[in-house]
Structures are given as C-alpha cells and as structure tokens.
Chains A and B, each alone.
Chain A
C-alpha cells in the first residue's frame, strides 16, 4: 500500500518537472546563501580560534606591565619557580602587507605548534638564536616569496595566517627592540606554594583572555551582520519553497481525497507527504550546501580583506570543508522545508474526506485571511519595536529590522488588494473593470513572490542608502582626518630625532603622531599625543566638545576620545577618564573615528611624553606646500626608504579601498537575494499562467485577442511589481535608518548621518519592473500563442 500511494504522490512531480525544479531550486538557493554565510563565519572564527590558542589548547593567561615587561621581572619570576615564558610582539611591514611577528622562547614556552616542536627536537640550532629560521602559515609563506629583510621561513600548520613565529632573540632583532618583552605567558600547570606574583613583580598585571579572544569579540558584530543577511536570503528563498509546496498540495487535493477514499489512512498519507518533502529537502539541501561552499569560496577573499582592513583580523583566504556547517546547512534546509510545508500539511490533516473534489483555487484567499495576515504583520511591527526597546542594542536592532521587514511583507497583499479595489470602484468601462477585478483575484497567488520582491528591494534601498551615506560621510571624514600631506616613519629613535631636525626648515609643520598602548574599559586602546597646531583645530572631525576644548587639551588638562570609546564606556563631556594607571584627565571632546575598532584617546604630546618616558617617537605628519619635492628630498637627501613615507592621496586611496571591499560581500549577497526574488516572481507567473486559462477564456470569447490578452498580462505584471517597488522605498529608508542609527551604533560604535539618494529609488523601481517584465515574458508569449482550441476546451470541460 505504502509503495503504491507513494508512487501516486511522486507521479505528480514526474508530470510537473518544472514545479519540482522550482521547489528544489528555491530551497537550494535559500540553503546556499545561508550556508555560504555560515561557512564564511565558521572559517573566520576558526582563524580567530587558532590565533587565540597559539600556544596550543586554550588561550593562556599573560602578565603585562606598562611600557613592557622588564628582563629583571622575568628573571625574578623564574627564580621564584613561576613557569613563565617571554613573548615579544610587534608589527612588520613586508612587501606592502602588515605581518604580526611573535617572538617566543621555544625552550620555556608552555606549548608549541607541532612543526616548531618537531624542529626543536630534530635540530634545535635551526630555530634558536638570532640566525635561526622563522615559521609562518603556508598561505602567508606563499605571499612572502623573495621578500627582503626576513629570515628564512618555513611553513607550519597551526599558525594563523599573517603571523610569523620566531625565536624571541630573532624577533627582537627584526623589531629593533633588543631586550623587549611584551608579555609573559603563564603555563597552565604551576608548582604549588609559590610566592604571589604581586610580591615578586608588583608592576605586572595578570590578564585572562576572554573566550575566543579580542578579535573574535570585535568581529562578532560583523559576523552578526553577515548572518542577518544570510537569514534574509533564506527567508526570501523560503517564500519560493512555500509557494511551490502550497501549489503542489493544492493541485493534489483531488488526488489526496481519492487516496483516502480508496483506503489510504490519513496518518499514513501525512507521513508519506512529510517523507516526500523531507527527501526533496535533503536533495535540495545537499545541492545548496555544495553551491554555498562555492559561493563562500568566491566571497571569502573579500571577507578576509574586510576583516583585515576593518579589524586587523587575519583570516585564511582558503575555505576548508567543515562537516559542522554542512550538517547545519542540511538541518536548515530540512527545517525550512518543514516550516514551508507546515500549513499545507495541517490543511491536509484537517481536510474532510468528502471535501470538494476539484482543487480549491490556489490563487484564491478570503478577504478575512488577508486581514488576518495584515494584522499579524502589524503585530510583528509592534513586537519589533518592543524588542528594540527591551533587548540589548544589537539584538534589539536586528529584532526591529526583522519585525519591520516581515511585518511589511505580511501587510503587502492587503495593501495591494485595497489599492486594486479602489481602482476597480473608479473604473467605468468593461475591460478596465475586469482588469482591476481580475488583478485583485490574482494577488493572493502572486503575494508570496511579491513579498519576496518587497524584501529584496527594500534591502537594496536600505543597504544602498546606508552604504552611500557611509561613503559620503567617510570621504568627508578622511579629508578632515588626513590633513597632513605626508606621513613619515623613522626606523629608530635616533633617526626620528634627525628626521625632525631635517624637516624643520623644509616643512610648514612637523606633527608628531606618537602613541602608547593602554587598556580602557577592559579592551586594548591607544593613547595619542599631538602637538597644538591649527591643522587639528581647523580639521579634526569633532562631534561634540566643550568651548575651551583645544586650549585645555594643549595645556595637558583634558583629553579627546573617539566616538566608539565614548559610546562603549558611556563617557560624557567633562567626565574623568583614567588614561593610564594613575593618570586621569577630563574628557573635553569626542571625535569620529570610522573604521577603527579600538578605543582611542588624544591628549597633549608633552603630557603624554611626561607620563610615558619611553614613548616611541617615530611617526610624524608633515604639512608642506610641495609634498612631492619634500618626499624626494627625504629619500635622496635624508636617506629614508621610500616605504617609510606615505602621501595623503595613497592613504586615502587605501582607506577608500578598504571601505569598498568592506561592502563587497554585502553587495554580492544583495544581488543574490535580488536574484532569488526574481526567480520567485518568474515561478509565480509561470505557475499562475498555467491556471489562468479558465479566467481568460471568457474574455477571449467576448472579443479580446490572444495578443491583447498577453499584453494586458505583461502590463499587469509590471504594474504589480512597480507598486511593490513604490512600497519598498519607504520600507528601505526605514531599514537604512535602523541600520545607521541603531545597528551600526551597536555593532561598530559609531553613528552616521543619513542621506537620501533618489537615483537609487529609481534603480529599485526599474529593477522591479524589469524583473516583472522578464518573468512575465514567457507566460505572455505562451498565452499569445495558445491555440483557440485550448480556450474552447475550457468551455467543453465546464459542467
């Protein structure tokens, strides 16, 4: 019995391969986009995990001190029995890329990446000392071939990309810090009864890394954004699946009724339908995961570049197949299919055995159902608003976005129906009256596709507005922030002093950019000292400040903080901030600092130098009327290497490049989502066209040609999509507002002004109409070529 009944159910798909393809492609696309995002996130997090657990296993506690750990403290701790190992960290710029150099002591390190451990056992002289070799990730090694100024490098698995690990003596030489120790790593197992660290080295503070490390925490918001986009694409895909499954169930109502009448128990029937859907979901899910893997592979290099540019996070550009996200993708496909088929299965379970034999018009839904749906949409609006007030800011922001988008989508059919009813009431002639009424009748059948289109278009407008607003603000901000014509970096303190002397008579102004690391609000931050100069007073992008701000800061009596630190630590003007241990200053101003994930403080250069005597004095901004000539002089006369000088235009170009890459992934996902929505529209029109003949035949019989009917269908499709696009514009603007004023603030710590771009609206409108015209073209041609005999069959079959 089961085999026969299943055969009958499956025969439906055999007879309608297009419908089967729609269902499979819809679910495959939904799964693909979602699992692509998951694959990217998983890969990135794996990289963070490797970085955080460099010494093998869980991240270890460290001891740090203001200005670095001294050799004396290290020696004292070792003598007291503490199992600590020194680490020296710094950045190297090689062939245009920034590399993190980590110097370790292989003999005392609590654990080592396996390649280093093996080399230590096999040939210790290879890795110990200043002449030893260093280790890096295979993909980093590939980018460093032939690079000058580096020791011999060997590839080692387990090292995160962008990092070089070397013996601490070698690292000290490369970084120019002969006796530098950044931190001491504490081995997890320590002998008992050791004297407290505070007694041996009172200047050291112990830090326990948070789960996942700083980078993982910093990038959480970025990954949340990606996940939200993945979910949106998945939701749009589910609209297709819901439509396809709903149609298949409605078309099979007579079959289901016959099966039951002929003796298939209801429970068996439901189980068979569920098994059928799950099997299809499994096939589509597997295809989707495969496609998602390919999409993720294509997008990952851009994501890696974004993470590097925005957060300094190194992520491998290559994608590994991980069973976890593949299984997750399959689970999502199965869950999505179950969700999309839930209402149809419920209707089958509730369907009386003796219900009407003919398929209930799939395209018909009662006015009451539309009102209920609109009410649910309004409720989602309200829930989103409530959630944004009640939940933490980022989660609340996304809840507001979800409520806004899904709520609007649910309200759309009701709005369309109301608009069409209004048109119908105004129409006087016969054909327009029929047109309005007939279009209204089609709305329920098209509603899922139109809802998907609304979501995709609103996202296009919303994300477009956000990115364009951001770009406009960012460009202006770069002009303010990068006021100096040249930026030069000395290699040593001595060279720095000589550089200042060289520049003094040749430049309009030399502006030192000296900084010291600190920790504020529990996170790494940087404190900068700057000279009092009109360059800052005239250009610095101040968001809010006290009246005497610049004078107070120049006197070393106040500090400026960047927006993200102010928001994160809830700082206000006038409030005291402990910038370094034992040194507090009131906040006199807050400035914008887009693209920087970390907190930043600016104060008087003199005051900072007094607090941090060993402040590195290497970087300088240089004001000059003839920067090209000065650059030439710095290279030829002073002997500074070219890569130590960066001009303003290069930095701006680099920053804008980082900015554009940041949104490459968003744009790609946006285009894919639009593609999914276009596909939804195409399948909806194709499906409806196959059911339209009984409605069109009487109109044809009364004297409207097939060609004219086809044209009317085309115009109607364009009008419905155009109306949807008009509604998508305000929705998109609302989305942009939430992104700029709520999500960005929570995710990145900065708020952006919102600008509107009417050309983007026209683009969305054009895209919608174009998608509808393309989608309606095939059914229109099919209709225009339908032989009259097919129309006549409609009357012949009427009973």
Chain B
C-alpha cells in the first residue's frame, strides 16, 4: 500500500489578537492520496487558508503533525522547509503573486528553474495549454486577471510537483473564466498525477473535486 501524499493529524493553530489569542484551527486531520483532488470549503475565518499554509510548509502548526511527500514537517528548519516547497509543492495564490519584472515565459519557468527541473518543452506545452503562447513576452501588469491566474497555474505545474495547493485560485475571476481555469487545473493535475487541494468558497466549483472537506470554526465538519 502506498503512503498518502499528505497526512495531517490533529493540527491546531492560533494567532495573537488584542483581546487574546484566537484559535483558527482546533484539531484538524486529513489525508491526500496521489492523484486525488480535494476542495476545502467553509465560511470566511473558518481556517481554510491557514490549513493550506500549514500543509504547504509556509507556516508551522502550534501542535499536530504533517507529513508531506514522505517527509515530516515538524523537525525541519527554515532552509529545509524552503527546499521542500521548492521541490514538492506548487502554490497558486488568490492574488497570483507573479514576479512583476519577469515576463510570462520567465514566470512560468521560474519555480521549475528554482527546483532545477526546468523542462523547456513542457513549459512551452503548458503555455499553449493555458492559452498563453501569444503572451509569453508580456509582463504581468499587461495581463488581465484571468491571464495572470493562468500564468500562476503554469508556474505551479511547470516543475511537475507532486502536490498542488491553490488558495481560491478563481476568487477574483468571473464565472466563465473561473470554469475555464478550473478545467485546466483539473486536467493538468490528472495528467501529472499530482494531488490537489484547493480552497474555494464556491459550492458549484467544489462539486467538481474528487473529495470535499468542510471547515467550521477551525474543525472539520
């Protein structure tokens, strides 16, 4: 039996606030198998994004354990966590977070190059699949929101990471563009065999994922 791609058990996380610490996650556990797609839903403030950040080694839980691609995150220092993100995680942010001074082609290639896994043919194919071929020499500021989000997805997939984590990737897009972007993401994830966790507010979009996890006040319901 193969090991799950992600295992998280009993995660808690709180943040300091003027009136005392606010608990955002209160004992969340989940697993993600290779090739599996999972939608994280819940109201605002339910802890979806925080959970995604913990799973992506962007932040550390107060308690609980996470294993990502076979590595326990608990004992890793800053440099090792950075290496894990570089090698194993593709991240898609709601605000895209492209490098504004690099053009589309360089942005797509960026993380793959960081990880030392740049494949020019795959990057070109990705750009074509994402409908960006004509835009490869443009800079992020010259693109629409939907185009920027497609570049962000291309960047996340160019290094063929085993895990793709997306935080409301269609949150700032209109419905039609959001459908297009999600179609592409799901298709590409299926082709690469990566596991995908996506935070979304949309029930309609969540219904298209293989599994769904609903969070309420920091707990899975």
Contacts and interface: CB of A to CB of B under 8 A. Distances in A.
B78 A266 contact: yes
A5 B102 contact: no
Nearest to A258: B97
B101 A260 contact: no
A261 B58 contact: yes
B53 A15 contact: no
Given A265-B82, A266-B78, A8 B58 contact: no
Best-surrounded residue of A3, A12, A265, A354 (most CB of chain B within 10 A) = A265
Contacts of A620: none
For the complex of A and B, the 6 pairs showing the least CB-CB separation, nearest first, are A263-B86, A11-B101, A4-B113, A263-B85, A265-B82, A15-B101
Contact of B82 (A14, A15, A264, A799): A264
Interface residues of A, number: 30
B83 interface: yes
Interface string B142-164: 00000000000000000000000
Contact of A354 (B58, B78, B79, B100): B58
Interface in A1-21: 1, 3-5, 7-8, 11-12, 14-16
Contacts of A265: 78-79, 82-83
Contacts of B86: 1, 262-264
A792 to B, nearest CB: 14
A261 B97 contact: yes
Interface of B: 53, 56, 58-59, 78-79, 82-87, 89, 91, 93, 95, 97-102, 106, 110-111, 113-116, 139, 172
Nearest to B59: A354
A262 B93 contact: no
Nearest to B89: A263
Contacts of B139: 15
B153 to A, nearest CB: 14
A267 interface: yes
A353 interface: yes
Contact of B99 (A3, A258, A267): A258
B151 to A, nearest CB: 12
17 contacts: A1-B116, A4-B110, A8-B99, A8-B110, A16-B101, A254-B97, A255-B100, A258-B97, A258-B98, A261-B93, A262-B111, A262-B114, A263-B84, A264-B86, A265-B83, A266-B78, A266-B82
A1 B114 contact: yes
Contacts of B87: 263
A357 B95 contact: yes
Given A4-B110, A258-B99, A263-B83, 18 more contacts: A1-B86, A1-B115, A8-B99, A8-B101, A11-B99, A11-B106, A15-B139, A16-B101, A254-B97, A255-B99, A258-B98, A262-B85, A262-B91, A262-B111, A265-B82, A266-B78, A353-B59, A354-B58
B103 to A, nearest CB: 9
A257 interface: yes
Contacts of B56: 261
Interface in A497-549: none
Best-surrounded residue of B82, B95, B97, B102 (most CB of chain A within 10 A) = B82
A12 B101 contact: yes
Contact of A15 (B85, B97, B100): B100
A357 B111 contact: no
Contact of A263 (B59, B99, B114): B114
A260 B82 contact: yes
B87 to A, nearest CB: 7
Contacts of A254: 97, 100
A8 B102 contact: yes
Nearest to A257: B97
B23 to A, nearest CB: 17
A262 B110 CA distance: 9
Contacts of A12: 101
Interface in A432-491: none
Nearest to B155: A262
Given A11-B102, A262-B110, A354 B116 contact: no
Contacts of A357: 93, 95, 97
A799 B171 CA distance: 11
A263 B101 contact: no
Contacts of A15: 100-101, 139
Contacts of B99: 8, 11, 255, 258-259
Given A254-B97, A357-B93, A357-B95, A263 B102 contact: no
Contacts of A257: 97
A9 to B, nearest CB: 9
Nearest to B116: A1
B114 A264 contact: yes
A257 B99 CA distance: 10
A152 to B, nearest CB: 70
A753 B79 CA distance: 66
Nearest to B56: A261
Contacts of A261: 56, 58, 85, 91, 93, 97
Interface in A332-371: 353-354, 357-358
B92 to A, nearest CB: 11
Interface in A724-772: none
Nearest to A255: B99
B115 A263 contact: yes
B97 A14 contact: no
A774 B91 CA distance: 47
A293 B59 CA distance: 53
B141 to A, nearest CB: 9
A260 B93 CA distance: 13
Contacts of A267: 78-79
Contact of B58 (A11, A16, A259, A353): A353
A14 B101 contact: yes
B72 to A, nearest CB: 18
A267 B86 CA distance: 15
A312 B68 CA distance: 80
A254 B53 CA distance: 17
